[in-house]
Amino acid sequence: MLFLILPASVCRSQSLETKQAVQSTDFYVFTEAGGQYIPNIPFSDINLGSDSFVVNSGGTNYDVNVSASLQNNNISPDIGYNFIGGFGYKINESISLELEVGYQYTPLGSATSTLNIPFSVSDGVNSVTGAVNQNYSFKSSGNLTQIPVLFNLVIQNRNERFMPFASIGLGVCPSTINSKATQVVLNDTTVSVGGTSVNTGSRDLGTFDFGNTSTSYPFMFKLKAGFDYSLNQNIDLGLRAWCSGITGSDFGNGINSEIYAVLGLTAALKIKF
């Protein structure tokens, strides 16, 4: 009889341990949603080209050198939104690893740019230099959409119902600019020749449907801080404040953004298995 009781007890014990392990795994899934704000997206200067040629006037040859570039290029987006989904694995009571995938939508809002055209004219003896500067402002119905994919390291004390939270994430952030219809305003034009400047007023140049779509794949890092509140053994609700940095993005045709920040506030839901 003892030979029958002992194996049965061992089997029941192993079955209980297996059941407990299944009921309390270290995996969880989470989702977040909320608003986001990009203070400014700066772009590098865009070289439009240069040329040198000779003009003959009154029997005299004049060497002309001219170049053009867009400078001080900045986009000031409107407030957008984002949502995130992912899963994590709890290494211990304080540290977890996560994989998250998100979607971020930001209206382009307004933008500014300066067209700079420096030139010089020389007859071989005398020379004159000058420049034409035009300041433009834009109002676009376009948008910036992003799909960040990040690996996160999470630090969180899970021994209380109220659990402070902090994490750092690294990954890639595919970004697409849709320019769409854009209103263009020429704010002013300044013509400078030989130390003399003339300034003209502003002019609304109208609305243009550029219809351009460009995609880039910049690197992204993200910092989060917030808290979770445990409703029960399986569900947590939380709040996150976060800031991400996105490195320079090459959108083609000489259009390159510099590093910029994205700020966000999201509500969070976590389901533990």
Architecture of domain 22-45+78-113+138-189+209-272: Beta Barrel (2.40)
> Comparing 52 with 195, which gets the higher pLDDT?
52
Can you give the pLDDT at residue 225? Answer: 97
CA distance 63 to 127: 9
Statement: residue 155 has pLDDT above 90: yes
**Residue 25 pLDDT grade (very low, low, confident, very high; cuts 50, 70, 90):** confident
Statement: residue 207 has pLDDT above 70: yes
Dihedral sign for Cα atoms in the order 149, 220, 79, 216: negative
CA distance 250 to 227: 36
The DSSP line for 240-259 is EEEEEEE--EE-STT-EE--
Q: What value does the mean pLDDT of the chain take? A: 88
**Residue 157 pLDDT grade (very low, low, confident, very high; cuts 50, 70, 90):** confident
CA distance 152 to 174: 18
- DSSP state for residue 19 in the 8-state scheme: H
Angle at 49 between CA 47 and CA 53, to 5 degrees: 150
Site of tokens 């971020």: 104
Mean pLDDT of 216-244: 95
